[in-house]
Amino acid sequence: MMLRSRYWKLCVVFMLLAGATVLFAACGEDEATTTTAATAPDGSTDTTSGPTETTATETTETPTDTTLGGKDTVVWGAARSISGGQSIFEETAMGPIYKMYVDDINEAGGLEVAEYGKKMPIELKIYDDQSSIDTCTRLYEKLIVEDKVDFLFGPTSTAFLYAAAEVAKSHHYIMMAAEGGATSLHEQVKENPYIFGDLQFADWNQVPVLVSLMQEVGVKSVGIFYIDDLHGMEYSSVAEEELTGTDIEIMFKTAIPGDIKDWTNQIKQAESANPDAICLFAYPDQNFPAIGAMIQLDYNPKMILTGPGACYQAFADSFGPAADGVMGFGAWNAKSSPGLAEFTERFEARYTIGAMDWWGGAPYYSTLQALGQAIEKAGSLDQEKVLHALNTEHFQTISGDWYYDTQLPAVECYPGMVGQWQDGVFEVVDPGAKRTAEPIFPKMEWPK
């Protein structure tokens, strides 16, 4: 199917970036793809190169004195990077998740909306922002003003989310986040009551948990490489703040360019400083080559943690046994809860487990469940009524009890913060009850 082929292409790209051996070899911006449950026979949801027309589930109810009429679907809209540099997120992160959620709801008959006195399927209206932030904001304006969608969910990346959320705020529309989250979200929610986060991030509560884990296993020193952008600077600064006052020494904190190709000098720096742990606060384009270079140069510190990259199943599938022992942010797996076990099984049946994101997959789906349940609890499509439900109610999701703390999922709602690859499973290694396996420290040697 489409997602499976894209997944294998992704593995090839990552392996080429890492310099390792590989054993296996959209819509126009102003054209929306509209669908209620366009599920192909193989389980995939196809995104065509032009607008598609589908008919909502037929209903026979007629309006009463206490219900509204003239509407059969709940329309959810978004501008997504179907093409361009950020398209990987639509292909392997939130993209598969929102399509799966909508099909799940529609196969059950839709959302129960009391003011309409019936179940209403979700209709998706998705535009391609072509990985342009200006196009993204214009398309959200179009979704609200021209298309008059009922609800919005987020675009790809934190920067796009913040820009789109301002558009939503100006029209008093709720904006549920997708692939976006940063410490600056704390300030965003103070200014924007309509934005709701979904992902964990540096101080919510990933780095504090990482430092606790380091203290538990006996890390005494750490070296930090970070990409020279907002993401890297955020994680490195939070790490420095959290490590201050502990007995863990920061041996170095070195910025790297986004287009780094050769990691030789950085690895020599790390070998010379000889820290117990190396943290790579960067993106897959940097993290995959870094791990590949460490393997090639046989540099193997006691702990390695990367930002986005290690959390993808594609990481383990690409590096094979060499992935074992590498840590990343996230985290959850099928052992985290019965709901997540069932979700993992259904995801694998629909797509392939190789497309799973062990950081975002569970929060993405849980966030959409929260919005759907908030609509049902409010019994209305009114933004303010649903907003009140989001702020005050608890929601039963695949992650368990899900509720919001100042428009962010409460930290206790997440299944985990730090994962480690062990025998092909991204195990939760947080200190405490959510741990699914004991951390391996020091990590094992690279396979020879």
Q: What is the mean pLDDT of residues 72-80?
A: 98
* Domain presence at residue 99: yes
CA-closest candidate to residue 363, choices 340, 386, 385: 340
Indicate if 374 and 254 belong to the same structural domain.
no
Indicate if 177 and 51 belong to the same structural domain.
yes
Q: What is the domain extent for residue 193? A: 27-197+360-412
Check pLDDT > 60 for residue 24: no
Q: Is 81 helix (H, G, I), strand (E, B) or coil?
A: coil
Indicate if 175 and 43 belong to the same structural domain.
yes
How far is Cα 199 from Cα 22, in angstroms, rounded to an integer? 31
Return mean pLDDT, the chain. Answer: 88
Q: What is the pLDDT of residue 34?
A: 64
How far is Cα 164 from Cα 133, in angstroms, rounded to an integer? 8
Longest dimension (CA), the chain: 77
CA-closest candidate to residue 443, choices 295, 313, 331: 295
- Element spanning 101, H or E: helix 94-107
Check: CB of residue 261 under 8 Å from CB of residue 288: no
Indicate if 178 and 210 belong to the same structural domain.
no
Q: What is the pLDDT of residue 29?
A: 57
Q: What is the mean pLDDT of residues 55-76?
A: 58
Q: What is the CA radius of gyration of the chain?
A: 22
How far from chain centre, in Å, is Cα 219? 29
Q: What is the DSSP string of 241-309?
A: HHHTTSS-EEEEEEEE-TT----HHHHHHHHHH--SEEEEES-HHHHHHHHHHHHHTT---SEEEESTT
Indicate if 161 and 31 belong to the same structural domain.
yes
How far is Cα 341 from Cα 447, in angstroms, rounded to an integer? 30
Indicate if 190 and 212 belong to the same structural domain.
no
* Domain presence at residue 372: yes
* Domain presence at residue 444: no
Check pLDDT > 80 for residue 174: yes
How far from chain centre, in Å, is Cα 214? 25
pLDDT in tens, 285-340: 899 999 999 999 999 999 999 999 999 999 999 999 999 999 999 999 999 999 99
Check pLDDT > 50 for residue 97: yes
**Lowest model confidence (mean pLDDT) among 1-15, 258-272, 360-374, 409-423:** 1-15
The more confident residue out of 186 and 57 is 186
pLDDT in tens, 367-426: 999 999 999 999 999 999 999 999 999 999 999 999 999 999 999 999 999 999 999 999
Indicate if 59 and 143 belong to the same structural domain.
yes
Indicate if 226 and 292 belong to the same structural domain.
yes
Backbone angles phi, psi at 188, to 5 degrees: -60, -45
* Domain presence at residue 84: yes
Check pLDDT > 90 for residue 203: yes
* Domain presence at residue 256: yes
**For the chain, how many structural domains are there in total?**
2
- Element spanning 67, H or E: none
* Domain presence at residue 337: no
In Å, how far are 271, 363, 409 from 388, measured between CA atoms? 54, 21, 15
Indicate if 284 and 193 belong to the same structural domain.
no
Helix and strand tally (H, E) in the chain? 14, 19
- CATH number, domain of 188, equals 3.40.50.2300
**Lowest model confidence (mean pLDDT) among 6-20, 212-226, 274-288:** 6-20
C-alpha count within 13 angstroms, C-beta hemisphere, residue 166 = 10
* Domain presence at residue 250: yes
**Lowest model confidence (mean pLDDT) among 10-19, 274-283, 344-353:** 10-19
Indicate if 294 and 395 belong to the same structural domain.
no
Return the structure tokens found at 299.
């540099």
Indicate if 152 and 228 belong to the same structural domain.
no
Provide, rounded to the nearest whole percent, the portion of the chain with pLDDT above 70: 85
* Domain presence at residue 433: no
How far is Cα 180 from Cα 159, in angstroms, rounded to an integer? 8
In Å, how far are 46, 99, 267 from 41, measured between CA atoms? 11, 14, 48
Check pLDDT > 90 for residue 236: yes
CA-closest candidate to residue 441, choices 289, 136, 218, 229: 218
Indicate if 99 and 132 belong to the same structural domain.
yes
The more confident residue out of 10 and 361 is 361
The more confident residue out of 190 and 9 is 190
Check pLDDT > 60 for residue 12: no
